[in-house]
Amino acid sequence: MINNPLNIQSASDEPLIEQIRNDLRQKVRSGQLKPGYRLPSMRKLSDDLGVSLGIVHQAINTLTAEGVLDSQPRRGVFVIDPKIKKRDVALILGSLQLPSMSAAIRGIRAGLRMASQTPPYRLMIHAADTDFDQQMDLLLKLDTQSLAGAIILPPGSSQYIDAFRAFADKGIPCIQASIALEGLNMNAVVVDGLETGRMLFGHLLEAGHRKIGIVSNTADTQTRMDIHSGAAMVLDEYGINFDDLPSVQTNVTHLNPDEPWRDGQEAATRLLTEHPDITACVGMDNSLTLGIYKAAKAMGRKLPDELSIIGMGADQTVFSMTDPAITMVDMGLEKICQHAAVRLRQMIDPKGSTPQRVSQVMPRLLQRESVAKITNSA
C-alpha cells in the first residue's frame, strides 16, 4: 500500500474536495493506482492531508458512486477493475440520518439475500447529506457499467421527475420504494394508500371524533393522492368533506436530521392555535406526528383527553415510548423495501411473466393510548 497516494494544494483556488476527487480519479485512470489497490483509511487520509474527515468521506462517496472505487464494509476502499462485471445494487437515499432508514436498509438486505444466484447481489448505499438535489446528483453520476440495478427512496416531490427519467434512459433496472412519483413510468413498491387513508381517519371517526385537524406536507406523489382519496371516502360516509378539515403544510423537501420534528411542531402549533376546538390531529408522516405531540405538550394540551393524535409512517420505537404512546398506521417500510429488492431481482433476471409496474403492501393499525373515545364532538 502506498502510504498516501494523494497530492493537494492548500493554496489552490480549487476546493479541497474537488482536488481529492480529481487527483484520485486521474491516478486511477492513468494506472498509477492499480485495480485492487486498497486506499489508506479515511481517517489516515484525513490526518495526512490535513482536511476534515467529512471532506474525505464525501470525495470517496462520489468516486464510489461513479464506479471508480469500491467501498467494502470492514475491509476498506479499493480501486475497481473496470473489466470485472459486478452484481452490485445501488440504494440511493436522501439521508442516512433519518431514523426510518435503518428499517429500509434491513428490508432491502433481506430481499437481496433471498437471491439464489452465485455470487449474490451486493448492496451499495449512496446517501446524500439530507439534500434531495444532492441525492439526484448521486443518482445521475452512478457508473452504470458496474450496476445490476438500483433501488431509490425518492423525494416526495414531482420536481425531481426529470432526474429519474434521465436515469431510466440509461437502461438500468430501477425501482422506487415507499413512494410512487406521479407521472413517472417506473416500477414501484408502495403502501396501499387508499387503505392507509381509510385506516387513519376511520379510526378517529369510530372513536367519535369529528373535529379533526391535519398536519401534512407539500408531497405531490401518487401515494399521497391515494391516501387523501381513502380519507375522503371514509369521511364522506360520516358526511364530512376532507377538503373542509383544517390543515397546515410543511415543505417536504426540507429535511432536518438534528430535529426532524421541528417543522411539524411549528405547523401543529399554528393549527392548534387557529383551531382550538380540534379534538384530534393526524400527522402525515413520522416527523410530523412527533411534531404534533411536542406542540401539544408545549401548549399544555392534555393527551388524549383534550387532543387525540394518530400518525402514519414507519413505526419507530419512539412512538411506543411517548406519554401517551402514539397510535400509528404502520406503512410497512421494511416490508416494502424487502419486496422492492425481490422485485428488482426479477427485473434483473426475468423468469416468466413480468410483474405489475406498481405493487402495494397493506398497512396495519397499531392501537396505543393516544386516541380517546368521545361521545359528543359537536
Q: Is the pLDDT of residue 204 over 80?
A: yes
Q: How far is CA 69 from the centre of its chain?
A: 25
Q: Work out the burial of residue 35: count CB atoms within 10 Å of its CB; fewer than 13 is exposed, 13-18 middle, 19 or more buried.
A: middle
The pLDDT, as a whole number, for residue 49 is: 83
State which H helix or E strand residue 126 sits in. Answer: strand 122-127
CATH of domain 1-82: 1.10.10.10
Coil, helix or strand at residue 327: strand
pLDDT digit string, tens, across residues 77-123: 888 776 555 578 999 999 888 878 899 999 999 998 875 554 568 88
Mean pLDDT of 251-267: 92
Q: Is the pLDDT of residue 360 over 70?
A: yes
pLDDT digit string, tens, across residues 6-40: 676 666 777 888 888 888 888 888 888 888 889 88
C-alpha cell of 322?
A: 411517548
The dihedral sign for the CA sequence 185, 191, 194, 197: negative
Q: What global pTM score does this model have?
A: 0.75
Of 50, 23, 28, nearest to 38 (Cα)? 28
pLDDT digit string, tens, across residues 287-326: 999 999 999 999 999 999 999 999 999 988 899 999 999 9
Mean pLDDT of 119-147: 86
DSSP, residue by residue, 277-298: T--EEEESSHHHHHHHHHHHHH
pLDDT, the chain, mean: 89
The domain limits of the chain are: 1-82, 192-331
pLDDT digit string, tens, across residues 41-57: 888 888 888 888 888 88
CATH of domain 192-331: 3.40.50.2300
